[in-house]
Structure 1
Amino acid sequence: MFVSLAVVTVVMAAFLLASAGAKFLRTRHITEQMSALGVPQGLMAFLIGAQIAGAAGVVAGLRWGPLGIAAAIGLTLYFAGAIAFHLRVGDRKGASPAAVLTVVSVALIVLRAATL
């Protein structure tokens, strides 16, 4: 089961770092999406930091389980917030990836708890 946890953790961390990088570089797609969702530009640094912290937390959680669980709980809340932002503006299509990532975050919680 630990191998499954490690694979899901590495994939999630890679996704989070890629997403944080796109936000940091202010790619056109990201800035347009954030604007459409009503996310203030001042919040971008927080979102980038949350993604980097989440990636670091789940990876470090492979070594120390409680940290991994805490990081995965934080990611679950982060992506649940993303779903709320998408649904608030009627963007059901954009909410789907956030919903998948919420489920993956919950899976990280379950997998890490099972391997303690």
Structure 2
Amino acid sequence: MTTWGLVVVVVAIAMNAMSGVLWVARPERVVKSIRQNLATIGVPESWTVFPIGTLKLAGAAGLLAGLLGVPAVGAIAAFGLILFWVCATFSHVRVGDWSAQFYATSCLYAPLSVGAFLAYVGWPY
């Protein structure tokens, strides 16, 4: 894995882990900020812990396992995160929601997951 690949994977781990912890811990400030967005895209608030927060944490853990010596698990986790973020992007597009969460999903988290996947499969960047 190249230095850039390592940087992308570490950033992807940090961002998905941070996001997952916030969704699982559900501090009131975070719940207030996402409640309206969840209602807009038609996702039940009960999904914040499972599956949303849990999948983000599992993805971050899988990426970390890839760095710690099991690159196949890292690649699978990155692919799973790609699927997660593509579905999240689709949820926003489906209802015409062009909020900040849409842009974070489609322009930040999804490309980071693609970059992490490419780092694990050996794409030379």
Q: Higher RCO, 1 or 2 (CA under 8 Å, sep at least 6)?
A: 2
2:20 pairs with 1:34: no
Runs of at least 5 residues in structure 1 that lack an aligned partner in the other structure: none
| Equivalent-residue separation in structure 2 for 1:46 and 1:108 (angstroms) | 21
> Which has the larger displacement, 100-109 or 48-57?
100-109
1:16 alignment partner AA: N
Q: CA RMSD in A?
A: 1.7
Contact 2:81-2:110 at 8 Å conserved across structures:
yes
- Which secondary structure state, in structure 2, belongs to the residue aligned with residue 92 of structure 1? coil
Question: So what's the TM-score if we normalise by structure 1?
Answer: 0.87
- Which secondary structure state, in structure 2, belongs to the residue aligned with residue 61 of structure 1? helix
Contact 1:54-1:75 at 8 Å conserved across structures:
yes
Identity %: 29
- Which secondary structure state, in structure 1, belongs to the residue aligned with residue 43 of structure 2? coil
| Equivalent-residue separation in structure 1 for 2:5 and 2:65 (angstroms) | 12
Question: So what's the TM-score if we normalise by structure 2?
Answer: 0.82
2:14 aligns with: 14
Q: CA deviation at 1:50?
A: 0.1
2:112 pairs with 1:104: yes
